[in-house]
Structure 1
Amino acid sequence: MALVPSAPRDKYPPLPDDTFPWKEPPAVAITPCDPWPPPYYLEDGLRKVTPYHFTYNTYCKQRWRGREILDIFASEFRDRPAEYYEQAIVEGRVVLNGQPVPSTKTIVNNGDMISHTLHRHEPPCTAKSIGIVHEDDDLIVIDKPAGMPVHPAGRYNFNSIIEIMRADRGYGWNPLPCNRLDRLTSGIMFIGKHKQAAEVMSAQIRQRTVKKEYITRVVGEFPEGEVVCEKPILQISPKLGLNRVRANGKEALTVFKRLAYYPPTARDRTSQQEELPGETDAQGQPWKKLQGYSIVRCFPVTGRTHQLRVHLQFLGHPISNDPIYANQRVFGPSLGRGHSESENDEDIMSRLSRMGKEEVADAVAYHDEMVEAYEKRKAERMTGENCKVCDTPLYSDPGVHELGIYLHARRYRCEEGKWDYETGLPDWALPPPGYEGLAESMKESDPLAVDLKQLGLEDGEEGGKDAEPMNGSAKAQLDAASDTRTAVSSVV
Structure 2
Amino acid sequence: MTNDYNLTVDKAGIRLDKYIADQIEDLSRTRVGELIKDGEITVNNKKEKASYKVILNDEVKVHVPALKPLSLEPENIPLDIIYEDDDVIVVNKPQGMVVHPSAGHPDHTLVNALLYHTKDLASSPEGFRPGIVHRIDKDTSGLLMIAKTPTARESLEYQLANKINKRLYLAIVHGNFGEEAGKIDAPIGRNPLDRKKMAVVENGKHAVTHFKVLEQYQGFSLIQCQLETGRTHQIRVHLSYIGHPVAGDPLYGLKNTLKGNGQFLHAQVLGFNQPTTNDWLEFSTPVPTIFHDTLETLRKRM
What amino acid is aligned across from residue 405 of structure 1 in structure 2? Q
2:265: which partner in 1?
Answer: 407
Change (3 A) 1:232 1:323: same
Q: Is 1:320 the counterpart of 2:213 in the alignment?
A: no
Change (3 A) 1:220 1:121: farther
Change (3 A) 1:152 1:163: same
Cα distance in 2 between the residues matched to 1:239 and 1:162: 28
Cα distance in 1 between the residues matched to 2:297 and 2:194: 40
Cα distance in 2 between the residues matched to 1:77 and 1:245: 21
Change (3 A) 1:434 1:325: closer
Cα distance in 2 between the residues matched to 1:220 and 1:250: 27
2:213: which partner in 1?
Answer: 258
Displacement of 1:410 after TM fit? 1.0
Task: Indicate conservation of the 8 Å contact 1:254/1:301, yes or no.
Answer: yes
* Larger-Rg structure: 1
**Secondary structure at 2:111 match in 1:** helix
2:203: which partner in 1?
Answer: 248
What amino acid is aligned across from residue 229 of structure 1 in structure 2? I
Task: Indicate conservation of the 8 Å contact 1:414/1:420, yes or no.
Answer: yes
Selected match of 2:114 from 152, 158, 165: 165
1:36: which partner in 2?
Answer: none
Displacement of 1:184 after TM fit? 1.8
1:188: which partner in 2?
Answer: 143
Displacement of 1:426 after TM fit? 3.7
| Runs (4+) off by over 4 Å | 75-78, 172-175, 237-240
Selected match of 1:218 from 158, 169, 173: 173
Cα distance in 1 between the residues matched to 2:230 and 2:193: 17
Displacement of 1:409 after TM fit? 1.1
Normalised by the size of structure 1, how large is the TM-score? Answer: 0.42
Cα distance in 2 between the residues matched to 1:298 and 1:200: 24
Selected match of 1:137 from 61, 68, 86: 86
1:431-468 CA deviation, whole Å, 9 max, x = no partner?
415848xxxxxxxxxxxxxxxxxxxxxxxxxxxxxxxx
**RMSD (CA atoms):** 3.6
Displacement of 1:241 after TM fit? 2.5
Task: Indicate conservation of the 8 Å contact 1:295/1:429, yes or no.
Answer: no
**Secondary structure at 2:280 match in 1:** coil
Cα distance in 1 between the residues matched to 2:161 and 2:298: 43
Unpaired segments ≥5 residues, structure 2: 3-22, 34-63, 71-75, 122-129
Cα distance in 1 between the residues matched to 2:202 and 2:265: 26
2:12: which partner in 1?
Answer: none
Normalised by the size of structure 2, how large is the TM-score? Answer: 0.66
Cα distance in 2 between the residues matched to 1:233 and 1:203: 21
**Secondary structure at 2:178 match in 1:** coil
Unpaired segments ≥5 residues, structure 1: 1-28, 30-52, 54-70, 82-115, 264-290, 329-362, 367-400, 437-492
1:36-62 CA deviation, whole Å, 9 max, x = no partner?
xxxxxxxxxxxxxxxxx9xxxxxxxxx
Cα distance in 1 between the residues matched to 2:168 and 2:199: 22
1:70-122 CA deviation, whole Å, 9 max, x = no partner?
x99616685359xxxxxxxxxxxxxxxxxxxxxxxxxxxxxxxxxx9925399
What amino acid is aligned across from residue 139 of structure 2 in structure 1? L
Cα distance in 1 between the residues matched to 2:69 and 2:30: 14
Q: Is 1:419 the counterpart of 2:281 in the alignment?
A: yes
1:150: which partner in 2?
Answer: 99
1:174-207 CA deviation, whole Å, 9 max, x = no partner?
4511221122211111122232322222222222
Q: Is 1:303 the counterpart of 2:230 in the alignment?
A: yes
**Secondary structure at 2:179 match in 1:** coil
**Count of residues paired in the alignment:** 232
1:319-377 CA deviation, whole Å, 9 max, x = no partner?
0100011134xxxxxxxxxxxxxxxxxxxxxxxxxxxxxxxxxx6223xxxxxxxxxxx
Cα distance in 1 between the residues matched to 2:29 and 2:198: 17
**Secondary structure at 1:202 match in 2:** helix
**Secondary structure at 1:176 match in 2:** coil
1:432: which partner in 2?
Answer: 296
Selected match of 1:198 from 148, 153, 161: 153
What amino acid is aligned across from residue 79 of structure 1 in structure 2? R
2:68: which partner in 1?
Answer: 120
What amino acid is aligned across from residue 154 of structure 1 in structure 2? A
- In the TM superposition, 1:312-461 aligns within 5 A as 312-328=239-255, 364-366=257-259, 401-402=260-261, 404-414=262-272, 418-427=280-289, 428-429=291-292, 431-433=295-297, 435=299
